[in-house]
Structure 1
Amino acid sequence: MPVAQPAHGTRQLRRVALSGLLGTAVEFYDFLVYGTVAALVFGDLFFPEADPAVGTVAAFGTFAAGYAARPLGGILFGHFGDRLGRKSMMLLTMVLMGTGSFLIGLLPTYDAIGVWAPVLLVLLRVVQGVAIGGEWGGATLMVAEHAGDRPRGLWTSFTQLGAPLGTVLSTAVVTLVSTLPDDQFRAWGWRVPFLLSLVLLAAGLYIRLKVAESPLFTAEKNRRRDAPRLPLLDVLRTPRTVLLAACVGIGPFTAQSLMTTFMISYAVDSGYARPQVLTGVTVASCTALLVMPLASALSDRVGRRPVVLTGALLSAVTAFPVFALADSGRPGLLVLACVLGHGIAQSTMYGPLGALLTEMFGTRVRYTGASLGYQTATLLGAGFSPLIAGSLLASYDSSTPVALLLTAGAAVTALTVWRLRETSGATLGDAPVDVRPTEGAHP
């Protein structure tokens, strides 16, 4: 039976939502700063002896290394988050994320220390990936568990909004430093966005230190007193739920990665000026800041399934038009491509995702379960997409295979959501929501 929802104030809920927003903003700022700079100069700075195309693929390979570490972070921080509490893990993940980004900004290049430069770069990316693997789960379920039976879609969308906010901040900073002469940008300008991550880190820690522990976790701990010994084993006793959670997230993460990190590299290589490309990503992210809360609030009224399914279908339908617009060579149409693919379609899928995944697991193992599902989706959907897309582009010299990749990711999400039960009306508690499909399931 579900545990009772503890009473808690709106003021504390707002503070928790703000801490989730800042945490996800730090996460996406750090990762997208890396993705943007990798697309622009990391191939030359850290892999100078490689062919230019191979250097770009190698730079995106280190990008993937960070994503590969995310499921490990989800398991590690989920374990202690389910046993010891959510708040302490949220503080630790934020410190590791911001510190890792700052150290990348101080990292010597290949010319200075040779092969140790890419080795250290990969190491720092892995540390970031482990930290980020635990960040989203803690931040999102803290908001959901503080919200209780209030509109969870809307409240958890604040955590999701950290993605476009981090994108806006990262592209704005990179746009500013990319106006430097090319030799200065390569010499020191690329370091500035990484070093500025300390500002976001300080703001996030200030808010998180004032956040109260999850009332649901506290009530569950007081009720049972014995924390789960190995939350991962409890989660894997019903692996279907984790698999469904991961498949739901593949579409939005494939779209997010292809429409930001990969699009920047692709458009610059196609002849667009860097400021034009970054403007397109920024406008799309600003659009997402509006679309995500609207889609999430709508999911509270009509359900998670129809909203996420609509976003997945939009992503699939617009995949080929988006790349046709990007191939036009016209900056205005490039902006439109980014808005359609990222600002609207991807955001409609991604906005309700936090509430949906949180509702799929019980309180005792929610941190581990939601984190593992989410981070597996990031690995499969976002971690390898730029690498695969870059390889496809090098092999076929056409955007068509990349559009097919985007469509395939959206199709996985659409088919998974189509078969899920609705979760939006569930009461959060120890018992997980029944997500088993029914015959003829439909939105």
Structure 2
Amino acid sequence: MSHHQLPSQGLRPRVHRFVVASLVGNALEWYDFFLYATASAVVFGRLFFPADTDPLVGTMAAFAGFAVGFAARPLGGLIFGHIGDRLGRKRSLVLTLSIMGISTALMGLLPTYAQVGLLAPALLIILRVLQGIAAGGEWGGGVLLISENSNSSRRGMLSAFSQGGISLGFVLSSLAFFLVQLMPEPDFLAWGWRVPFLVSILLLGVGAYIRFKLPESKEFTEVRESKPQHRLAAIEALRAHPREILIAMGLRVAENGGSYIFLSFSIVYGVHVGVDKGLLLLAVAVSMLASFGTYIFFGYLSDLIGRRLVYALGAVGMGLMAFPFFAMIDANTPAIVILGFLIANGICHGAMIGTQPAFFHEMFSAEVRYSGMAIAHEVAAVFAGGFAPLIATALLLNFNSSAPVSIYVIGMVLITLIAVLASGRKQVHGSRDHSERTTPERVS
């Protein structure tokens, strides 16, 4: 027994240190990124993209800026994936956090359209592009901090903590806007909306310090010492793992696109049908706070029954929830609205995103893992998540109904289910499928 216990006991404090660092760093970074999503639905359409007709037109313009940020994410994935694969995960993550924090704080200092005209939205979009570049390099590194420092039998549960940071970031951004919206509306529009953005500069110092103190990833250190690296990491990833990159992109479609329908567009839809904006923001915050626990649970479940099965169950659940979700918002009853968000975000989306870090980790070899994961994750984010609120708002504007949006969600789910089937039973690199993980070394 002692032979099997001593290694795990020696590693436990270090693994927990990476878990905490990834969780805190991700929460701060995604707080910054999600602020734009929340502000697009709440205030940016009025202050930076004014429209003289339907308020949905201004909101669509703000969501177009939201999509531009997503379009910049693959560039960030290429840049910081290469830095992470060649120079180290730690160095890449300190850079992404710094760029994100500074860009977000500057958004809080921008003049509005009424003050400087078209210069206001132009500056906002530039900063959103920088946010997108930083976000593009963040996710893969945050995941690898944990997954590359944990054993295969616990990788699903432990690496899901990195996704927990995303949920906490969304909670923080939603609650920040919920609190400042309690101000009188003239004060909120004049300066209150800026406060959540300016707070970012304080969070940057905390997050950068935590990440700077980390040791380098164990697997990265081993690969760097044993294998020469000459090519660009992204080119090597594309050459070595083209099929895995395509599959991972397909896995992202329902998870990412559906989540932004249920998180960002849902606020626009709720306001459109007369639901109180404060209730909607509260429902989002409650569902994402609960999601922290469900991500960990589904990551743990994927360690027991396999990544593919858990991921597929989440996708099917999202498809089944596509029509009922909007019906629950239409009910305009607090308990029903909050329950709808809990099911859609906490359970359906949670099953996919909680399983995703370990699922993706096991598709790629260590020497190009950061780049391979970043390329798949961020390219898919452009056409899945980046355009989802824009497309959904356009459908609502044209049809004045949630039904086309529900059909759109079901279409994304079908793409993801095809990707799950294409992934095959056996993962490429890392732990084997659950049915194969039976040796004492893997379960001790």
8 A contact 2:363–2:428 mirrored in 1: no
Structure 2 residue identity aligned to 1:142: L
8 A contact 1:303–1:424 mirrored in 2: no
Structure 2 residue identity aligned to 1:108: P
Residues 1:352 and 1:227: Cα distance change in structure 2 (over 3 Å): same
Structure 1 window deviating more from structure 2 (234-243 vs 38-47): it is 234-243
Match of residue 252 from structure 1: 255
Match of residue 309 from structure 1: 312
How far did residue 108 of structure 1 move?
0.8
1:16 to 10, 15, 18: 18
In 2, Cα distance between the equivalents of 1:22 and 1:249? 23
In 2, Cα distance between the equivalents of 1:427 and 1:121? 41
8 A contact 1:178–1:185 mirrored in 2: yes
Residues 1:111 and 1:17: Cα distance change in structure 2 (over 3 Å): same
Match of residue 275 from structure 1: 278
Match of residue 442 from structure 2: none
Structure 1 window deviating more from structure 2 (88-97 vs 268-277): it is 268-277
In 1, Cα distance between the equivalents of 2:123 and 2:75? 19
Does residue 345 (structure 1) correspond to residue 361 (structure 2)? The answer is no
In 1, Cα distance between the equivalents of 2:266 and 2:382? 18
Structure 1 window deviating more from structure 2 (23-32 vs 379-388): it is 23-32
In 2, Cα distance between the equivalents of 1:404 and 1:321? 12
8 A contact 1:319–1:406 mirrored in 2: yes
Structure 2 residue identity aligned to 1:75: L
How far did residue 424 of structure 1 move?
6.4
In 2, Cα distance between the equivalents of 1:408 and 1:150? 34
Structure 1 residue identity aligned to 2:252: G
How far did residue 27 of structure 1 move?
3.2
8 A contact 1:152–1:300 mirrored in 2: yes
Does residue 56 (structure 1) correspond to residue 53 (structure 2)? The answer is no
Match of residue 122 from structure 2: 119
Match of residue 389 from structure 2: 386
Does residue 168 (structure 1) correspond to residue 171 (structure 2)? The answer is yes
How far did residue 150 of structure 1 move?
4.5
Task: Render the CA deviation track for 1:132-167: whole Å, top value 9, x for unaligned.
Answer: 100111111121111143511111101011121111
In 2, Cα distance between the equivalents of 1:122 and 1:76? 20
Q: TM-score, normalised by structure 1?
A: 0.92
Match of residue 365 from structure 2: 362
Structure 1 residue identity aligned to 2:366: T
8 A contact 1:164–1:289 mirrored in 2: yes
Structure 2 residue identity aligned to 1:33: L
How far did residue 62 of structure 1 move?
0.5
Secondary structure of the 1:351 match is helix
8 A contact 1:178–1:274 mirrored in 2: no
Structure 1 window deviating more from structure 2 (42-51 vs 398-407): it is 42-51
In 1, Cα distance between the equivalents of 2:275 and 2:33? 23
5 Å-filtered alignment, 1:33-432, equals: 33-51=35-53, 52-224=55-227, 226-237=228-239, 238-423=241-426, 427=430
Structure 2 residue identity aligned to 1:102: A
Task: Render the CA deviation track for 1:263-322: whole Å, top value 9, x for unaligned.
Answer: 112112221222111111112112211211010001011110000000000000111111
Residues 1:49 and 1:38: Cα distance change in structure 2 (over 3 Å): same
8 A contact 2:275–2:329 mirrored in 1: no
In 1, Cα distance between the equivalents of 2:26 and 2:253? 18
In 2, Cα distance between the equivalents of 1:307 and 1:411? 16
Structure 2 residue identity aligned to 1:19: A
2:27 to 22, 25, 31: 25
In 1, Cα distance between the equivalents of 2:105 and 2:51? 26
Structure 1 window deviating more from structure 2 (386-395 vs 270-279): it is 270-279
In 2, Cα distance between the equivalents of 1:339 and 1:418? 27
8 A contact 1:304–1:422 mirrored in 2: no
Aligned residues with identical type, % of pairs: 41
How far did residue 384 of structure 1 move?
0.5
In 2, Cα distance between the equivalents of 1:387 and 1:154? 33
Unaligned runs of at least 5 residues, structure 2? 1-6, 434-444
Structure 2 residue identity aligned to 1:254: G
Structure 2 residue identity aligned to 1:390: T
In 2, Cα distance between the equivalents of 1:213 and 1:322? 43
Secondary structure of the 2:245 match is helix
In 2, Cα distance between the equivalents of 1:64 and 1:10? 40
In 2, Cα distance between the equivalents of 1:403 and 1:27? 30
Unaligned runs of at least 5 residues, structure 1? 1-5, 435-443
Match of residue 439 from structure 1: none
8 A contact 1:303–1:423 mirrored in 2: no
Secondary structure of the 1:147 match is coil
The two structures, once aligned, show a CA RMSD in angstroms of 1.8
Structure 1 window deviating more from structure 2 (235-244 vs 53-62): it is 235-244
